[in-house]
Amino acid sequence: GAGVSQSPRYKVAKRGQDVALRCDPISGHVSLFWYQQALGQGPEFLTYFQNEAQLDKSGLPSDRFFAERPEGSVSTLKIQRTQQEDSAVYLCASQALAGTFSYEQYFGPGTRLTVT
């Protein structure tokens, strides 16, 4: 069965370049989350969508980070003018409609971003 997919799996960017990371959630999942995971740490919340609405972007570390989900399915996380501290694994997770009381999140494999 199709799980959450992310592309690219690996991305190397030179400092100052813009990058775009893609997430394909499980079909029909209403909620979508982006997390950032540094080496040896747990995932840290970046932003949350319910359908196409971005309901929470409190975790985005700076205005260089931007996320969108224009049609309520695929989402893109964009980082402008990348810095070395942006190097991390970016995880996408989707979740079925909360009204079903199913709170588990399904994660993709992540995109490992290295900024040189």
Partner 1 sequence: SQKIEQNSEALNIQEGKTATLTCNYTNYSPAYLQWYRQDPGRGPVFLLLIRENEKEKRKERLKVTFDTTLKQSLFHITASQPADSATYLCALPPRGAGSYQLTFGKGTKLSVIP
CB 106 to partner 1: min, Å? 7
Q: Please report, as residue ranges, which positions from 18 to 37 form the binding site for partner 1 (by CB under 8 A).
A: 31, 33, 35
Upper half-sphere CA count for residue 105 (Cβ side, 13 Å): 15
State the DSSP string of the chain: ----EEE-SEEEE-TT--EEEEEE--TT--EEEEEEE-TTS--EEEEEEETTEEEE-TT--STTEEEE-TTSS-EEEEESS--GGG-EEEEEEEE--GGG-----EE---EEEEE-
CB 16 to partner 1: min, Å? 28
Considering only 25, 69, 79, 95, the residue that binds partner 1 (CB under 8 A) is 95
The verdict on 12 binding partner 1 (CB under 8 A) reads no
CB 115 to partner 1: min, Å? 19
Q: Please report, as residue ranges, which positions from 34 to 93 form the binding site for partner 1 (by CB under 8 A).
A: 35, 40-45, 48, 56, 59, 91, 93
By the criterion CB under 8 A, which residues form the site for partner 1? 4, 31, 33, 35, 40-45, 48, 56, 59, 91, 93, 95, 98, 103-110
